[in-house]
Structure 1
Amino acid sequence: MDDIRLDKYLWAVRIFKTRSDAADAVRTNKVTVNGAYAKPSREVKVGDRIEVKRQQVTYSYKVLDLVSSRQPAKNVPDYCLNTTPQEELDKLNVPRETIFVFRDRGTGRPTKKERRDLDELMDGIYYDDEE
């Protein structure tokens, strides 16, 4: 086995739960291979560096060996080395700001417009460092 599809590799080493999740992440430019954006069908080779952006953290992996079938979690270190810097992992422990939205009692659930406004507010707080 000389090479394998990027989406299949990401699924096989348990970076994504499903292969379609992996393909969607690659298509939306959340995954780079050796510093360049790729298609889900891009061939991965031993030694490639893969970076996966999830929320505010960019995880880095090095391909150690190729595998086409999904592996048990205990076998993943044989195929993939997590090289994520500690400062990226520290972003997971950042204390979350709490927002309390006051609603009058008895007004019911938020309307669709109010929900969108709330989601926009939350995205501005948690994802302000993204494009």
Structure 2
Amino acid sequence: MPEKEKLRIDKYLWAIRIFKTRTLASDACKAGRVKLDGKNIKPSHEVRINEIYHISKGIERKVIRVTGLLESRTDAKTAINFYEDNTPVEQTQAFKSMFHAPILKRDRGAGRPTKRDRREIDGLKDDFFE
């Protein structure tokens, strides 16, 4: 892929597949969810190689270092060559563990839960998410 010398941060984040659309990347910059050295940056900020960006995307937090400038969106295998993910392992594991919550199911045909059953279910949920 050809590399450019000047590239906007919103276009870069879209090209390396951090955000699904360029509009989402631009909105994240405007909302202060993309930071460089602890400071919010505008969508028009020029990306430079070896800069480190902190990106908040919902509950997910990423720390990336720019290793190359990607001009247009490509497949994921190619895109990972243009940045280095420096996200701390603790944050990565914490994010992944959010999706391993217990699934509370009732037997089919058991009917609607009684008031007592409902309190037990709520107690289990409260204990898990504290």
Identity of aligned residues (%): 33
For each residue in 1:84-121, what CA deviation from the matched residue of structure 2 results, as whole angstroms up to 9, or x when unmatched?
A: 111111222045588xxxxxx9xxxxxxxxxxxxxxxx
Partner residue of 2:82 out of 62, 79, 83: 79
Partner residue of 1:68 out of 71, 82, 85: 71
Equivalenced residues, count: 101
2:16, 2:45 → 1: CA distance?
16
Following superposition, the deviation at residue 77 of structure 1 comes to 2.1
Equivalent AA in structure 1 for residue 10 of structure 2: D
Structure 1 residue ranges, 4+ long, deviating more than 3 angstroms after superposition: 94-98
Match of 1:25 in 2: 28
Q: TM-score, normalised by structure 2?
A: 0.69
Other structure's SS at 1:14 match: coil
Segments of structure 2 that go 5 or more residues without pairing to the other structure are 104-111, 113-128
Following superposition, the deviation at residue 33 of structure 1 comes to 2.0
Partner residue of 2:53 out of 50, 55, 58: 50
Other structure's SS at 1:43 match: coil
Following superposition, the deviation at residue 58 of structure 1 comes to 1.5
Distance 1:97 1:30, change over 3 A: farther
Equivalent AA in structure 1 for residue 16 of structure 2: V
Taking only aligned residues, the RMSD between alpha carbons, in angstroms, comes to 2.1
Match of 2:17 in 1: 14
Q: Is the 8 A contact 1:50 1:60 kept in 2?
A: yes
Q: TM-score, normalised by structure 1?
A: 0.69
1:41, 1:19 → 2: CA distance?
12
Other structure's SS at 2:70 match: coil
